[in-house]
Amino acid sequence: MKGSTLLLLVLAGSLLGLAHAASGADDETPAPALHPRYLDLRAAPRIAGNAAAGKEKSLVCSACHGEDGGGTAPPFPNLGGQRADFFYWQLVELKRGRHPSPMTPLVSTLDDQDMRDLAAYYASLPLHPARADAGDTPAEPVDAALLERGRDLYLHGDGAKGIPPCQGCHGPDARGMRDADVADRNGRTPYATFPVLRGQQATYLQNKLAEYRDGDLQDSTSDFIMSGVGKRLDEDSIQAVSAWLSSLRED
Predicted local distance difference test score (pLDDT) of residue 1:
44
Q: What is the phi-psi region of residue 174: left when phi exceeds 0, alpha when psi lies from -120 to 50, beta otherwise?
A: left
Q: Nearest-5° angle of CA 241, CA 245, CA 246?
A: 115
Q: Nearest-5° angle of CA 177, CA 178, CA 184?
A: 90
| Contact indicator for 150, 243 with CB cutoff of 8 Å | yes
Predicted local distance difference test score (pLDDT) of residue 11:
35
Per-residue pLDDT of the chain in tens (251 residues, 90 and over written 9): 444 433 333 333 433 333 333 334 444 444 434 457 888 998 888 889 999 999 999 999 998 998 889 888 889 999 999 999 999 999 999 999 888 888 999 999 999 999 999 999 999 999 888 876 544 444 567 789 999 999 999 999 999 999 999 999 999 999 998 888 888 888 888 889 999 999 999 999 999 999 999 999 999 999 999 999 999 999 999 999 999 999 998 76
Predicted local distance difference test score (pLDDT) of residue 163:
95
Predicted local distance difference test score (pLDDT) of residue 238:
97
